[in-house]
Structure 1
Amino acid sequence: MKSFFKIFFKWLIIFFVLFFVINIFIGMSFDDSDLTFLLMGIDASNVKEAKGVRSDTIMLFNLDKKNDKLSIVSMPRDTRTSIDGRKYKEKVNHSFAYGGAELTTSTVSNLLGIDIDYYAVVDYDLVKNFIDLIGGIEIYVPVDMKYEDPTANPPLHIDLKEGQQTLDGDKALQYLRFRKGYANADLGRIDAQQEFLKVVINDTLSLRNIPKIPKMIQLYKSNVDTNIPLTMVMRYGFSAIINSLDIETYVLPGSPKMLNGVSYYIHDEEATKEIINQIFYIN
């Protein structure tokens, strides 16, 4: 009798797994629409408790499933733009402190002239735990990175040497949080972040990480504030594993400028339209 129940429950589990996977693939086969969302990284250890903080990183993602292409547009945090409810133009990262992910998403949507339905906000714990989960990443550190700020939340201790190396979760955080040593300031940091993302995405989508998907889902639930349904994440994730992605990265075109003693990044509207048209195939 015990043997019967073992076999029964084993096949019951296999049935539900197959049912779930088949439904994912059915969803993929009939849905070739793009997935567009805004990714925001915040200066906090816990995304669930972060209120009144500014976003540290803002990136637009567009996954074009039909052409197996992922486009990423980084927004310099000092980009000057209009924010709903504010009298004057301000830095785009201020919007998160005023109204959270929803306000930042609508702000970037208005800035770029496109609809952005989804958002995802991640915290430091997600980065650290996720990189440790996939076994670290191999990346080239472009400059010596050394900086201390015990008053930061969490405290900031950065000490990385230039060169190719393996970063665990803690060192990956150091790499991402470093900002004051690049020759071209925030744009240099954006280049480093984009390179980091390319490596992490390619590593994550490798077959060896498939057994880690349940733990990835746990991290997603506990360290990501998002309105993207988990089933949608799974659908597009499996599609990306099966079909190798062509990853293209962009930086919002523009240049730094001082206005009334404040340093801003003024985006080039025409050059921005060209990038958006290229990503979304707008004629």
Structure 2
Amino acid sequence: MKRKFRIVFFVSIICFVFLYSTVLKSVFTEKLAATLPDGSKDTNGKNENKPKVKNEILFLLLGVDAEDVKESKGKRTDTMMLTKVNFDTGDVSILSIPRDTRVMIDGKPDKINHAHVYGGVESTMDTVRDFLGIDLDYYVKIDYNIVKEVVDAIGGVRVDVPFDMKYKEYDPSVPPLNIDIKKGEQQLLDGKNAHDFLRFRNNNAMTVGYKDGDIGRIKAQQYFMKELIKQTLKTKNLLKLPKLVETYFSNVETNISLGTALKAASSVKKINVDNIKTDTIPGDGEYIKNVSYWIYDREKMDLLVNEMFGDYID
């Protein structure tokens, strides 16, 4: 198993941080400017594009295959999720894009997670716009350290583990990976085990794992995200907000302004975890010249994108 994982809980982090963001506005103003990729100062949204839908935001969540988001140039994206949040209703829609999806990048067929290697966020955003035919302005890029820190900060996350997850990485060229999580319902996972839960796909012998491979893992991670949001929004965890502020700004790069982010504060209490819509680009796995790809179904995908993000179709 490659050293990969999906980071699927950005929405919960945003909810957790922005619930009391008006109190911390002075801190956010100073620190959010440092996360803007071009070094420009935040303007509380004054210079932003006018949103296509009032009090709503569409952004691309990117989880990079790196320990430090600030040192992620040339790295692949291991997570790609198109996310929509409506501040009035609290509705959240998330469409997962498998990292092996075969798309056109600079006129050549390739895996979509390679776009960031070739041209960073700009290339990735252009690729997704062309691929899905949508109007997309915003992104959030995070590294995997945020997984451990956030989960530990709220005292762990309870999830159902479908089978024994055991895997050891023997490649000396990468940091050690030793996954050992027992099967069981409502297990309390700490930061490390939550991180390992998200990364696990199969054991070393290939005898235990998700039957549909990476797609099965995406489904498990979407389930994890909902559980994390549900547990994060508990009053006892909201009181831990100050501890998460540093974690957020240390592991996130975004072009979403402070002004837009602050609008999210009013929607947090409206979010109903059971109503969060999640889906994945439809298609099938296929090998082309001994390379594994996710071959999307154009007709089904277009219908899904129209259903979830119809207001943003070009």
TM-score w.r.t. length of structure 1: 0.83
- Say whether the 8 Å CA contact 2:64–2:141 is kept in structure 1: yes
Do residues 220 (structure 1) and 248 (structure 2) align?
yes
Residue identity matched to 2:76: R
Q: What number of residue pairs does the alignment pair up?
A: 257
Distance 1:251 1:47 in 2: 25
Q: Partner residue of 1:100?
A: 120
Larger RCO, structure (CA 8 Å, separation 6 or more): 2
Aligned-residue sequence identity (percent) comes to 45
Name the residue aligned to 1:155: 176
Which structure has the larger Rg?
Answer: 1
Separation of aligned partners in 1, 2:254 and 2:238? 23
Given candidates 143, 153, 168, the residue that maps to 1:123 is 143
Structure 2: gaps (5+ residues): 1-21, 27-44, 46-52, 203-208
Task: Map 1:247-266 onto structure 2 (within 5 A).
Answer: 247-266=276-295
Q: Alignment partner for residue 93 of structure 2, among 67, 71, 74?
A: 71
Change (3 A) 1:273 1:250: same
The structure-2 alpha-carbon separation of the partners of 1:205 and 1:244, relative to structure 1 and needing over 3 Å to count, comes to: same
User: One-letter code of the match for 2:277?
Assistant: E
Stretches of structure 1 lacking an aligned partner (at least 5 in a row):
1-15, 21-26
4+ runs deviating over 6 angstroms: none
The aligned residue for residue 59 of structure 1 is 81
Partner of 1:48: 70
Aligned to 1:36: 58
Contact 1:45/1:154 (<8 A) preserved: no
Q: Is the 8 A contact 2:87 2:266 kept in 1?
A: no
What SS does the corresponding residue of 1:257 show, helix, strand or coil? strand
Q: Distance between the aligned counterparts of 1:18 and 1:190, measured in 2?
A: 34
Query: 1:219 Cα shift?
Result: 1.4
Between structures 1 and 2, the one with greater helix share? 1
RMSD: 2.4
Q: Distance in 2 between matches of 1:212 and 1:56?
A: 29
Aligned partner of 1:195 in structure 2 is 223
Contact between 2:104 and 2:110, CA under 8 Å: does it hold in 1?
Answer: yes
Cα pair 1:44 1:153 within 8 Å, conserved? no
Task: Give the corresponding residue for 2:303.
Answer: 274
Letter in 1 for 2:65: D
| TM-score (structure 2 length as normaliser) | 0.75
